[in-house]
Amino acid sequence: MPYTSVSLRIFGLAVILFTFWGCTQQPPPSPIVQKLHDSGAGDLSNLSQLNIQEWLVKHKDLAYQVDAMCKPVQEKATAAWQDTTEGKVCGAAHQITLARPVPVQGDSVSHWPGK
């Protein structure tokens, strides 16, 4: 049976719709990204790592928690993971954690920087 003009149009429309539907589906946010979103960071999907880091500087305790959550995920991550929202959040949190003050041990007494 030859294809009619109407059936070809319907097929073409279906292909276009499924293509766009497949391209616009976003994966569900990871628990790490969701934690920041729930803490008031908003939509992080279009932000750079630096933008996320600027927000996390004001919420350092959250950055420390997120960095701890990221360690097991980061061990299994692919090379492209750093470009994902989760990868940017983890990178930003890690940068803040690197500057975290730690006590200096000496004479059996802990001395905190700045105290």
Residue ranges per structural domain of the chain: 29-101
Q: CA dihedral in degrees (87, 89, 95, 100; nearest 10)?
A: -130
pTM of the model: 0.69
Q: Any idea which of 26-30, 57-61, 108-112 has the lowest mean pLDDT? A: 108-112
Amino acid at 44: L
Residue 36 is predicted with a pLDDT of 94
In whole angstroms, give the CA distance from residue 1 to residue 11: 16
Residues 46-96 pLDDT 10s: 999 999 999 999 999 999 999 999 999 999 999 999 999 999 999 999 999
pLDDT tier, 102 (very low <50, low <70, confident <90, very high otherwise)? confident
For residue 2, report the phi and psi dihedrals to the nearest 5 degrees. -70, 150
